[in-house]
């Protein structure tokens, strides 16, 4: 129950690929990394977009060169341009010396632009020119700069919708998304939840363990904040726990009330949805009730009652 998962190191980030969807994604990333195509990674906040970006660099022929990253939402408009393209001494007040931009720093390596959807129209136009291979000037410069950079971008926004609404340039969107990698939210890859939780717990205190009730709740919770929220919950529990085992009392209050198990109980008016969810879990577990119950985030006894009530034991082999 508390066995540590297999982990992968990409720069200073740790990745865990336990679910089938993430195992397939890892194989896809290795193939994509071999090219120089610009990649757009999409997914909810906290779902692990930066880890996938680092994996692209790790598996690429640029792995021995620079990895440079910037959060576009963290810098104001007037600073982002100077950060990306650099500036010369005296270019503006406070520019006491020349400074290379992130494009120069990432030359022959990878530049990761997180939250790319936050760029204002002016910066979108300048970025497009740089991506098209055009040389550029540092701010206040007279010498053109040429670089060889593999660009990877990420966003939690719907850029297609932003393009349709005129908030994001269509030409930049198509340039960024030569290859698009969507990251599924944590609630859609429940086989990753416990391995991730165990990894975060071991980082805090390898002597701690989760109770059986906690592992069920961890798998059942909807995780609106995805991996980042899971990490925060585990760290909090590890810090506040009094003994060696983390119990439900050590978890935030929302854990007790918001879970997939609660969701199943709430489906009483739509029994066909509940039946389909249970049937899918049993099929994916080859009929093993314990494994199916863990996938659903409910107890084995609860699953057995539902299996009998829906007559599922008559339609498939269950053990």
pLDDT in tens, 164-191: 999 999 999 999 999 999 999 999 999 9
pLDDT at 40 over 90: yes
Whether residue 54 contacts residue 67, with contact meaning beta carbons closer than 8 Å, is answered with yes
- How high is the pLDDT of residue 36? 92
Over the chain, what is the mean pLDDT? Answer: 86
DSSP letter (8 states) at residue 150: E
Cβ count within 10 A of residue 48: 26
- How high is the pLDDT of residue 297? 61
pLDDT at 200 over 70: yes
pLDDT at 139 over 70: yes
H-only helix segments in the chain: 20-33, 49-58, 77-85, 102-105, 121-131, 159-164, 170-176, 193-204, 212-220, 226-240, 254-257, 260-265, 271-284, 289-296, 300-310
Q: Which two tokens stand for residue 286?
A: 């080859």
- How high is the pLDDT of residue 57? 97
Return d(Cα 201, Cα 193) in angstroms, integer.
Answer: 12
- How high is the pLDDT of residue 251? 85
User: What is the rounded average pLDDT of the residues 57-82?
Assistant: 90
- How high is the pLDDT of residue 271? 54
pLDDT at 315 over 70: no
Closest CA to 237 of 217, 220, 222, 257: 217
pLDDT at 2 over 70: no
Between the alpha carbon of residue 54 and those of residues 60, 113, 227, the distances in Å are: 10, 12, 16
- Alpha carbon 134 to its chain centroid, in Å, reads 32
If one looks up domain 34-182 in CATH, what number appears?
3.40.50.300
Token pair 């199943």: residue = 264
Topology (CATH) of 268-314: Arc Repressor Mutant, subunit A (1.10.10)
Domains 34-182 and 268-314 share a fold: no
Q: Which two tokens stand for residue 208?
A: 């701690």
Please tell me whether the overall predicted TM-score, pTM, comes out greater than 0.85 for this model: no
Helix (H, G, I), strand (E, B) or coil at 65: coil
CA quadruple 61, 65, 66, 67: dihedral sign: positive
Geometric angle at alpha carbon 308, from 302 and 311, rounded to 5° = 135
Domain spans, the chain: 34-182, 187-261, 268-314
pLDDT grade for 258, boundaries at 50, 70 and 90: low
- Alpha carbon 69 to its chain centroid, in Å, reads 16
- How high is the pLDDT of residue 318? 62
- How high is the pLDDT of residue 272? 59
Domain 187-261 class in CATH: mainly alpha
Q: Which residue has the higher pLDDT, 2 or 89?
A: 89
User: What is the rounded average pLDDT of the residues 124-142?
Assistant: 87
pLDDT grade for 262, boundaries at 50, 70 and 90: very low
User: What is the rounded average pLDDT of the residues 33-48?
Assistant: 95
pLDDT at 158 over 50: yes
Whether residue 189 contacts residue 22, with contact meaning beta carbons closer than 8 Å, is answered with yes
Return d(Cα 318, Cα 314) in angstroms, integer.
Answer: 9
Return d(Cα 209, Cα 211) in angstroms, integer.
Answer: 7
Q: Which two tokens stand for residue 247?
A: 């119990």
pLDDT at 7 over 90: no
User: What is the rounded average pLDDT of the residues 272-294?
Assistant: 77
């Amino acid at each position: 129950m508390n066995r540590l998962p297999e982990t992968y190191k990409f720069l200073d980030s740790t990745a865990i690929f336990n679910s089938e969807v993430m195992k397939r994604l890892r194989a896809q990333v290795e193939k994509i990394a071999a090219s120089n195509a610009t990649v757009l990674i999409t997914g909810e906040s906290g779902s692990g977009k930066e880890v996938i970006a680092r994996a692209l660099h790790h598996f690429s022929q640029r792995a021995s060169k620079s990895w440079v990253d910037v959060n576009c939402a963290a810098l104001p408009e007037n600073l982002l341009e100077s950060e990306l393209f650099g500036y010369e001494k005296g270019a503006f007040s406070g520019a006491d010396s020349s400074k290379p931009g992130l494009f120069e720093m990432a030359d022959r390596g990878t530049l990761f632009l997180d939250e790319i959807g936050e760029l204002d129209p002016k910066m979108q136009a300048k970025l497009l020119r740089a991506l098209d291979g055009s040389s550029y000037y540092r701010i206040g410069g007279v010498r053109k700069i040429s670089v060889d950079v593999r660009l990877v971008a990420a966003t939690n926004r719907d850029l297609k919708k932003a393009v349709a609404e005129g908030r994001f340039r269509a030409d930049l969107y198509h340039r960024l998304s030569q290859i698009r990698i969507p990251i599924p939210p944590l609630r859609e890859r429940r086989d990753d939840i416990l391995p991730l939780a165990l990894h975060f717990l071991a980082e805090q205190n390898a002597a701690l363990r989760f109770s059986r009730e906690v592992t069920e709740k961890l798998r059942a919770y909807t995780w609106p904040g995805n991996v980042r929220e899971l990490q925060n919950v585990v760290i909090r529990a590890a810090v506040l726990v009094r003994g060696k085992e983390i119990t439900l009392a050590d978890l935030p209050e929302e854990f007790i009330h918001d879970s997939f198990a609660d969701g199943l109980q709430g489906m009483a008016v739509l029994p066909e949805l509940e039946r389909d969810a249970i049937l899918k879990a049993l099929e994916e577990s080859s009929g093993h009730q314990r494994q199916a119950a863990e996938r659903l985030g409910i107890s084995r006894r609860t699953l057995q009652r539902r299996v009998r009530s829906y007559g599922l034991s008559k339609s498939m082999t269950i053990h």
